Amino acid sequence: MNRAIDDIENLEDVYTNKMQMTLVQKISGDVKKLWYKNSKFDISFTQRSSSASQDAIFSVKDHEDNMWAIHEGTMKGNPSTTDKMTDSHAKFNVASAGITYLKNYFSSTNFDTLIKNRLAYACSQSYLIDPTGFSIQLGGPGRAIWSGCSGGEVSV
């Protein structure tokens, strides 16, 4: 899976430090790229230098801003509410150490702050919303990973 990203440093912090995913390769320069290894598939992120003419109509940042505005407007501070953008997701495994870190991070941070910082969650199917605005499904129907979500918290 390949995704574009506007702020690759924030994404690297989320995937490497918070989710504790395995960084396989990193490329720096005008084009920055990160590859992460997962038991199901690899995921890569690319950040390119901005071009005023190419970005004038709709940039990667515009896309991310739109996705996060939908999350914020629909969820209104309530992770039990989901939107159509949340359901555009991949499903892959995150190490249990990453889940533990995220549980602590999410329970100690106000939900509106999570949205503004571009790392949040939705209770439905234990979605994790990454900095791109796309979601990762960590659970399934009736599997609540995040504290405060109905269905009872389960360990992963």
Q: Is residue 99 part of a domain?
A: yes
CATH code of the domain covering residue 80:
3.10.180
Angle at 22 between CA 21 and CA 24, to 5 degrees: 140
Q: Is residue 146 part of a domain?
A: no
Q: How many C-beta atoms lie closer than 10 Å to residue 103's C-beta?
A: 17
Q: Is residue 156 part of a domain?
A: no
pLDDT tens digits in sequence order for the chain, 156 residues long: 889 999 999 999 999 999 999 899 999 998 999 999 877 778 899 999 877 777 778 899 999 999 999 999 998 888 888 777 777 777 777 888 998 999 999 999 999 999 999 999 988 888 899 999 998 888 666 667 887 787 555 554
Q: Is residue 7 part of a domain?
A: yes
Q: What is the pLDDT of residue 83?
A: 78
Q: Is residue 53 part of a domain?
A: no
Q: Return the closest-CA partner of residue 139 out of 102, 94, 109.
A: 94
Q: Is residue 32 part of a domain?
A: yes
Token match 């440093």: residue?
Answer: 9
Query: Given its phi and psi angles, is residue 76 left (phi above 0), alpha (psi -120 to 50 degrees) or beta?
Result: left
Q: What is the pLDDT of residue 140?
A: 63
**Contact status, residue 95 vs residue 21, Cβ threshold 8 Å:** yes
Bridge partners (DSSP) of residue 31 are 48
**Contact status, residue 74 vs residue 119, Cβ threshold 8 Å:** no
Q: What is the pLDDT of residue 142?
A: 60
Q: Return the closest-CA partner of residue 4 out of 136, 131, 120.
A: 131
Q: Is residue 90 part of a domain?
A: yes
> What range does the domain containing 28 cover?
2-48+59-137
